Amino acid sequence: MDEQAAAEAALVAGDVAETETKRLLTGQKQEPWDDPRIPWAGKPRRADILCWAGIMLSGIFYYVMLPFRAELLGTHPVLSELLNGSTEAIIAAAAFARVGHGSLVVALLAAIPGLMKFDPLYWWAGRLWGERIIAMLSGKRNRGAKYMGRVDRWGRKFTWPAVLISQFLPIPNAIIYVIAGWAGMRLVTFIILDAIGSLLWAGMLVGLGYELGHRAVVVAQTISHYGLWVSIGLVVVIVIFQVRSQRRMMRVYVEGRAARADAQASADPQASADPQASPDSQASPDAQASPDAQGEAVPEGDQAPT
């Protein structure tokens, strides 16, 4: 792990440890759903579960489509871009249209739902969880914090051009979408801007595929011929990256638990080291009274003469 990644992991672990220490000192119970790997805090609401389930299903859909991605590229490129909106599928569909197999307009329009189908989920996640989901998606580079700072400086209008050009930016689009939801952009506005941006991106790729023409068709058909091996290679690469990401998250979580245990261990001796009450303070009020006050009052007549 490089120094930057180690520093960010230490910061996350420190935040977890601080939260756990506060819970111990205030006597709060640890809830089973308090996990740094989930974007909400406390008991999940119905909206939290639905949005998180939608995001998980989008990931499952991506993995399910992987074996068919290369196969469809050289045989049914329009179907491929409709299902996954991939760059290579859009280029291949336009190239097939150039050689007379398909329509250029269909190649352009089929890319829009393929590019946008899961985008509103991330907008919703930004509305629900704000900075927590932004930090989770930003990764070790913490690129989301930079855009959040720009929103704070320039206002919500910064999110409009950001959504428009999100397809052209060298960062995951989901970061832009959750920031748009966090900043308060309306859903209708987000969908319109996202559709325009997707149309611009698809138009550029369609123009590229149309220009390549027969050469792109040959490449797409070659990829489809070796589609099984290409798919296996993609799956292996993705699994490796996912395992590394999960290991990093678990390491941060374990470091947070260790810090919590250290805080609890240091808090117990401090509680036992409190000064004990002195015997005089533990004695009853009668025992603290003066000897004259403890004895019975002597009548004046019975007192010995001086």
Residues of the chain with pLDDT > 90, as a percent, come to 32
Q: Domain total for the chain?
A: 1
Helix axes 173-182, 119-129, angle to 10 degrees: 50
Which of the two residues, 7 and 66, has the higher pLDDT score? 66
Q: What is the pLDDT of residue 298?
A: 45
Which of the two residues, 42 and 242, has the higher pLDDT score? 42
What is the mean pLDDT of the segment spanning 21-28?
47
pTM more than 0.75 = no
Q: What is the pLDDT of residue 256?
A: 66
Q: Tell me the per-residue pLDDT of 254-304, one tens digit each, with 9 for 90 and over.
A: 776 777 777 777 776 665 555 454 444 444 444 444 444 444 444 444 444
What is the mean pLDDT of the segment spanning 30-49?
76
Range of the domain at 153: 31-225
Q: Is residue 76 part of a domain?
A: yes
Q: Is residue 95 part of a domain?
A: yes
Q: What is the pLDDT of residue 141?
A: 60
Q: What is the pLDDT of residue 147?
A: 66
DSSP string covering the chain: --HHHHHHHHHHHHHHHHHHHHHHHHTPPPPTT--TTSSS-SSPPHHHHHHHHHHHHHHHHHHHHHHHHHHHHTT-HHHHHHHH--HHHHHHHHHHHHTTSS-HHHHHHHHHHHHHTTHHHHHHHHHHHTHHHHHHHHGGGTHHHHHHHHHHHH-GGGHHHHHHTGGGSSS-HHHHHHHHHHTT--HHHHHHHHHHHHHHHHHHHHHHHHHHTHHHHHHHHHHHHTHHHHHHHHHHHHHHHHHHHHHHHHHHHHHHHHHHHHHHHHHHHHHHTSPPPPHHHHS-TTTTS-HHHHSPPPPSTTSPP-
Q: Is residue 205 part of a domain?
A: yes
Both tokens assigned to 150: 């720009």
Q: What is the pLDDT of residue 35?
A: 66
Q: What is the pLDDT of residue 168?
A: 92
Q: What is the pLDDT of residue 230?
A: 65
Per-residue pLDDT at 50 exceeds 90? yes
Q: Is residue 291 part of a domain?
A: no
Q: Is residue 52 part of a domain?
A: yes
Q: What is the pLDDT of residue 210?
A: 92
Q: What is the pLDDT of residue 197?
A: 95
Q: Is residue 136 part of a domain?
A: yes
Q: Is residue 96 part of a domain?
A: yes
Q: Tell me the per-residue pLDDT of 75-94, one tens digit each, with 9 for 90 and over.
A: 899 999 999 899 999 999 99
Mean confidence (pLDDT) of the chain: 75
State the pLDDT confidence band at 46, using cuts at 50, 70 and 90. very high
Per-residue pLDDT at 198 exceeds 80? yes
